[in-house]
């Protein structure tokens, strides 16, 4: 039986079960606490700087706290989602589940739905704390804070979907975590190397270094197109530049990435099977 | 022999390092620029390599073509001129092309740099006949000042003499004449270039029309991506360390003082690499991927409107402020409104708009262009408070929930084990 959004009763049941499992686990609360503490710390250090001089000039004092809290929560959701299917595969419950009238799509959609709800709760918590922080300290909370919160939600959901894809692909929990860590390190290294080399004037680079720089810039740009982190950064930069069309493009890229991850997860689950 | 060997062993490396520190120089045809940089005029040196020049669009800049000795200075990794060894003007006309079209063929004309606030202040460029007139006027003012100073010294000596004979306060002390602050450089000859944004090439051509070897350069004329009104914000606690607010998004936050001093200025945003090369064509640190804001001419003539609940639509004008040392031997200063419109050479201070900072909430400021608010001139000033205890407390709430969940799990597992 199909419910709204093309979801079956099985998908809803899986989603509800997954959501209950996440919300009754202590880990999301620990990560949320760390993310909130970091956001408050960044805001606190802005005010410390203002206090030191008696004056300060800031365009978007709430953007960095949102970005840093988002990165922590995104990492948590990707890690958590990357173990969700593999854990069931290892325990053998996945095989049992597929004896019932549940399809691959039901399983993936149910888990994505649960993770989107968790992402919404986390994004709402960060936004609420920052709004409260703005009220308490007097820091300007701009009208585009809800847009930043939406960008955060899109990023967290996309990270969860990426984790789910790895979970569908990997045989074991450890493999999924290692692959996720590898991807994060690779993206970060590419980004740092490309940023450093792009900042150097061309005259300072010799022939092979110039080639390496151009190659890295192309690879980094290509990786950026597929990276949820890059979409999140684009969205926040677009908000700072007050460029609504760039914001919508970044949001669209985030949602597209989410859709691709979900589609690939269903496919990977079909191909990989239910046994480790 | 052995006695000679030791000093020789010490002296030889020193001699070698002395030889290494003497750089090789080559004779080059170079360009010297007085380039408008958005704030004033910068002196720029451009050797033959890299063969690129940069100017700001729609503002006059002056180019001089010289032959000089150029050497590489490793400490700064740049080529520098040795004007003492050679400083020759290269004759010819300056031809500016865009593609294959010749846009302008310029003749040299006289120019001077005027420093209205003294040698260390901003510079203005004056060209043509006006340059000669400005220099003559400066000479006239200088000789008038010297005459007045001579007279003052004579009168002062007489006054001292009378005071010695008749006692102090017998008659008022003569007033020393004010030294003219305006400085004008000696007139020089150069090509005045004023072009719209774009890419050009230029070269010096001799009278018979042939291009002078080594004079060709690629010229990039750059323009700002964005313009607006920026503010230099002076903290009363550290008046020598102003902050800048370039865009309307940037909010000015204050904590301690009851007022802040703001100085409006015209601001422009340029590509960082092009702007750095405008100031120094040999710059190797800037990036084409970044943008930089540049503050320009101050805007003290316009009224400032204070808005929001704390401002109530009041309009304020700029004033001169004086920074006074506190009396006694203690360190410290206070900022007071000056009774005069200009500072004396011995006085320290600044011109600014004083804006009250409300005890809570915010105040808006904007410059007025006639009856309207000047575009991109609005800013918000807010007082901030440091109340982070409650925020850190709230950040810890999820941790408490996590602890509660762990305790609940343990309790349940214990009950099930007992059962």
Of B123 and B142, which is predicted with more confidence? Answer: B142
Nearest to B255 among A33, A43, A54 (CB): A54
Chain A environment of B386 (Cβ under 8 Å): 44, 47-48, 51, 137
Number of H helices, E strands in chain B: 6, 27
Contact B380 A26 (CB under 8 A): no
pLDDT one-digit tens code per residue, B281-316: 998 888 887 889 999 888 888 999 998 766 677 899
Task: Spell out a b/e string for B362-373, using b for 16 or more CB atoms within 10 Å of the CB, else e.
Answer: bbbbbbeeeeeb
Query: Residues B90, B68: contact at Cβ < 8 Å?
Result: no
**Residue closest to B316 by CA, chosen among B359, B366, B243:** B366
Chain A environment of B402 (Cβ under 8 Å): 26-27, 29-30, 33
Mean per-residue pLDDT, B322-348: 81
Q: Return contacts of A149-152, CB within 8 angstroms, 24+ apart.
A: A149/A66, A149/A123, A149/A124, A150/A251, A151/A232, A151/A235, A151/A236, A151/A239, A151/A247, A151/A250, A151/A251, A151/A254, A152/A66, A152/A69, A152/A70, A152/A123, A152/A126, A152/A127, A152/A232
* Through-space distance between the first and last CA atoms of chain B, rounded to whole angstroms: 104
**Residue closest to B378 by CA, chosen among B392, B391, B368:** B368
**Residue closest to B351 by CA, chosen among B327, B317, B315, B386:** B317
Question: Where residue B92 falls among pLDDT bands split at 50, 70, 90?
Answer: very high
Contact B235 A30 (CB under 8 A): no
Indicate the SS3 state at residue B346.
Answer: coil
Contact B395 A36 (CB under 8 A): yes
Contacts of A170 (CB under 8 A, 6+ apart): A82, A86, A176, A179
Sign of the Cα pseudo-torsion (A121, A126, A130, A136, in order): positive
Nearest to B398 among A29, A39, A242 (CB): A29
**If you count residue pairs, one on A and one on B, with CB atoms under 8 Å apart, how many are there?**
144
Residues A67 and A156: their CA atoms lie apart, in Å, by: 11
**Chain B closest-CA separation from residue A178 CA (Å):** 26
Query: Residues A54, A136: contact at Cβ < 8 Å?
Result: no
Contact A139 B382 (CB under 8 A): yes
* Through-space distance between the first and last CA atoms of chain A, rounded to whole angstroms: 30
Question: Where residue B17 falls among pLDDT bands split at 50, 70, 90?
Answer: very low
Query: Residues B223, B269: contact at Cβ < 8 Å?
Result: no
CA atoms within 13 A on the CB side of A71: 13
pLDDT at B7: 57
Task: Spell out a b/e string for B215-235, using b for 16 or more CB atoms within 10 Å of the CB, else e.
Answer: bbbebbbbebeeebbbbbbbb
**Chain B closest-CA separation from residue A206 CA (Å):** 14
- With a pLDDT cut of 90, the percent of chain B lying above it is 55
Closest-CA residue of B relative to A203 is B284
Contact B395 A56 (CB under 8 A): no
Query: Residues B52, B277: contact at Cβ < 8 Å?
Result: yes
Contact B253 A57 (CB under 8 A): yes
pLDDT at B73: 87
Instruction: List C-alpha distances in Å: B399 to A34, B66, B74, B403.
Output: 9, 72, 57, 6
pLDDT at A160: 94
Residues B194 and B127: their CA atoms lie apart, in Å, by: 12
CB atoms within 10 A of CB B48: 16
Q: Give pLDDT tens digits along chain A (276 positions).
A: 444 455 688 888 888 988 998 999 999 999 999 999 999 999 999 998 888 888 899 988 899 999 999 999 999 999 999 988 888 888 778 777 777 777 888 888 999 999 999 999 999 999 999 999 998 888 887 778 899 999 999 999 999 999 999 999 888 888 989 999 998 888 888 878 877 777 666 666 677 777 787 788 888 878 878 889 989 999 998 988 888 999 999 999 999 999 999 999 999 888 877 666
Query: Mean of the per-residue pLDDT values for chain A?
Result: 87
Mutate to test the interface with B, among A24, A57, A65, A131 (most CBs of B within 10 A): A57
Ramachandran quadrant class, B214 (left: phi over 0; alpha: psi -120 to 50; beta: rest): left
| Cα dihedral value B326, B331, B335, B338, nearest 10 | 50
Chain B environment of A36 (Cβ under 8 Å): 394-395, 398
Closest-CA residue of B relative to A32 is B398
Question: Where residue B16 falls among pLDDT bands split at 50, 70, 90?
Answer: very low
pLDDT at A74: 95
Question: Where residue B102 falls among pLDDT bands split at 50, 70, 90?
Answer: very high
Chain A environment of B233 (Cβ under 8 Å): 55, 57
Q: Which two tokens stand for residue A240?
A: 């700072």
**Chain A closest-CA separation from residue B270 CA (Å):** 15
What are the strands, taking DSSP E only, across B132-250?
183-184, 188-193, 198-205, 217-222, 226-234, 243-245
pLDDT at B11: 53
Query: Residues B81, B31: contact at Cβ < 8 Å?
Result: no
Mutate to test the interface with B, among A20, A55, A144, A220 (most CBs of B within 10 A): A55
**Chain A closest-CA separation from residue B384 CA (Å):** 5
Residues B49 and B66: their CA atoms lie apart, in Å, by: 15
Indicate the SS3 state at residue B384.
Answer: coil
pLDDT one-digit tens code per residue, B221-239: 999 999 999 999 998 888 8
Residues B62 and B112: their CA atoms lie apart, in Å, by: 10
**Chain A closest-CA separation from residue B142 CA (Å):** 43
The alpha carbons of chain B give a radius of gyration, in whole angstroms, of 32
**Residue closest to B202 by CA, chosen among B46, B49, B52, B29:** B52
What are the strands, taking DSSP E only, across chain A?
55-58
pLDDT at A221: 79
Sign of the Cα pseudo-torsion (A70, A71, A77, A80, in order): negative
Q: What's the gap between Cα A10 and its chain centre? A: 26
**Chain A closest-CA separation from residue B29 CA (Å):** 22
pLDDT one-digit tens code per residue, B45-83: 999 988 999 999 999 999 999 999 999 888 888 899 999
Contact B243 A43 (CB under 8 A): no
Chain B environment of A26 (Cβ under 8 Å): 401-403, 405-406
Closest-CA residue of B relative to A51 is B255
Chain A environment of B387 (Cβ under 8 Å): 136-137
Sign of the Cα pseudo-torsion (A71, A76, A77, A79, in order): positive
pLDDT at B14: 47
Q: What's the gap between Cα A206 and its chain centre? A: 38
Closest-CA residue of B relative to A29 is B398
Q: Which two tokens stand for residue A246?
A: 């760039």
Instruction: List C-alpha distances in Å: B14 to A90, B17, B22.
Output: 74, 5, 13
Q: What count of residues does chain B have? A: 419
Give the H/E segment covering residue B343: none
Nearest to B257 among A54, A136, A242 (CB): A54
pLDDT one-digit tens code per residue, A122-170: 999 999 999 999 988 888 877 788 999 999 999 999 999 999 999 998 8
pLDDT at B4: 54
B146 DSSP assignment:
H
Mean per-residue pLDDT, B361-382: 90
Of A273 and B337, which is predicted with more confidence? Answer: B337
Contact A137 B383 (CB under 8 A): no
User: What is the largest distance, in Å, between two alpha-carbon atoms of chain A?
Assistant: 68
Chain B environment of A40 (Cβ under 8 Å): 388, 391-392, 395
Closest-CA residue of A relative to B282 is A203
Query: Residues B171, B32: contact at Cβ < 8 Å?
Result: no
Query: Residues A116, A202: contact at Cβ < 8 Å?
Result: no
Q: Are strands B259-271 and B226-234 parallel, antiparallel or unpaired?
A: antiparallel
Instruction: List C-alpha distances in Å: B8 to A83, B17, B215.
Output: 75, 14, 48
pLDDT at A210: 77
pLDDT one-digit tens code per residue, B192-209: 999 999 999 999 999 888
Residues B318 and A55: their CA atoms lie apart, in Å, by: 20
Contacts of A265 (CB under 8 A, 6+ apart): A108, A112, A161, A164, A165, A167, A168
Contact B252 A199 (CB under 8 A): no
**Residue closest to B235 by CA, chosen among B219, B215, B257:** B257
């Amino acid at each position: 039986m199909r419910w709204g959004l093309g979801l079956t009763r099985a998908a809803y049941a899986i989603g509800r079960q997954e959501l209950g499992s996440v919300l009754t686990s202590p880990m999301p609360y620990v990560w949320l606490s760390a993310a909130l503490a970091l956001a408050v710390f960044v805001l606190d250090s802005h005010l410390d700087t203002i206090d030191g001089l008696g004056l300060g000039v800031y365009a978007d004092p709430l953007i960095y706290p949102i970005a840093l809290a988002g990165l922590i929560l995104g990492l948590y959701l990707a890690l958590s989602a990357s173990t969700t299917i593999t854990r069931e595969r290892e325990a053998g419950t996945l095989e049992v589940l597929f004896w019932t009238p549940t399809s691959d799509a039901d399983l993936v959609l149910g888990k994505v739905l649960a993770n989107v709800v968790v992402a919404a709760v986390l994004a709402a918590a960060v936004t609420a704390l920052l709004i409260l922080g703005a009220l308490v300290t007097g820091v300007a909370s701009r009208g585009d804070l809800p847009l930043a919160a939406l960008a955060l939600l899109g990023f967290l959901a996309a990270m969860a979907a990426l984790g789910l894809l790895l979970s569908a692909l990997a045989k074991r929990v450890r493999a999924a975590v290692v692959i996720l860590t590898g991807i994060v390190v690779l993206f970060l290294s590419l980004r740092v190397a490309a940023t450093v080399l792009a900042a150097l004037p061309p005259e300072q680079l010799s022939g092979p270094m110039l080639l390496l720089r151009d190659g890295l810039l192309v690879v980094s740009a290509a990786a950026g197109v597929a990276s949820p982190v890059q979409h999140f950064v684009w969205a926040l930069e677009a908000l700072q530049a007050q460029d609504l069309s760039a914001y919508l493009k970044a949001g669209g890229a985030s949602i597209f990435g989410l859709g691709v991850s979900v589609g690939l997860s269903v496919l990977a689950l079909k191909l990989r099977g239910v046994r480790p | 022999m052995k006695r000679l060997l030791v000093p020789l062993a010490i002296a030889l490396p020193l001699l070698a390092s002395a030889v290494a520190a003497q750089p090789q120089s080559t004779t080059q045809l170079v360009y010297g620029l007085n380039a408008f940089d958005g704030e004033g005029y910068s002196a720029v040196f451009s050797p033959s390599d890299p063969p690129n020049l940069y100017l700001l669009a729609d503002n006059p800049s002056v180019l001089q073509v010289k032959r000089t000795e150029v050497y590489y200075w490793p400490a700064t990794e740049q080529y520098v001129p040795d004007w003492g060894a050679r400083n020759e003007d290269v004759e010819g006309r300056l031809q500016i092309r865009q593609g294959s079209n010749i846009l302008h063929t310029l003749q040299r004309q006289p120019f001077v740099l005027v420093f209205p606030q003294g040698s260390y202040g901003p510079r203005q460029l004056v060209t043509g006949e006006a340059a000669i007139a400005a220099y003559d006027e400066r000479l006239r003012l200088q000789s008038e000042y010297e005459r007045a100073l001579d007279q003052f010294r004579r009168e002062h000596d007489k006054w001292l003499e009378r005071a010695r004979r008749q006692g102090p306060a017998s008659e008022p002390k003569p007033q020393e004449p004010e030294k003219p602050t305006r400085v004008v450089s000696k007139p020089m000859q150069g090509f005045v270039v004023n072009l719209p944004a774009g890419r050009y090439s230029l070269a010096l051509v001799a009278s018979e029309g042939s291009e002078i070897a080594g004079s060709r350069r690629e010229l990039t004329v750059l323009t700002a991506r964005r313009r607006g009104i920026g503010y230099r914000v002076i903290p009363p606690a550290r008046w020598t360390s102003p902050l800048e607010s370039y865009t309307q998004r940037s909010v000015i936050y204050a904590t301690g003082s009851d007022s802040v001093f703001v100085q409006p200025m015209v601001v422009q945003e340029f590509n960082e690499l092009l702007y750095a090369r405008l100031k120094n064509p040999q710059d190797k640190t800037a990036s084409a991927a970044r943008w930089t804001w540049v503050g320009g001419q101050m805007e003290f003539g316009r009224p400032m409107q204070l808005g929001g609940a704390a401002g109530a639509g009041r309009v304020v004008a700029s004033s001169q402020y004086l920074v006074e040392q506190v009396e006694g031997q203690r360190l410290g200063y206070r900022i007071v409104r000056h009774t005069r419109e200009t500072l004396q050479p011995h006085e320290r201070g600044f011109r600014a708009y004083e804006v009250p900072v409300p005890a809570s909430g915010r105040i808006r400021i904007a410059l007025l262009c006639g009856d309207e608010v000047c575009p991109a001139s609005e800013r918000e000033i807010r007082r901030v408070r440091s109340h982070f205890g409650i925020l850190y407390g709230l950040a810890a709430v999820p941790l408490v929930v996590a602890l509660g969940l762990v305790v609940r799990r343990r309790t349940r597992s214990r009950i099930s084990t007992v059962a």
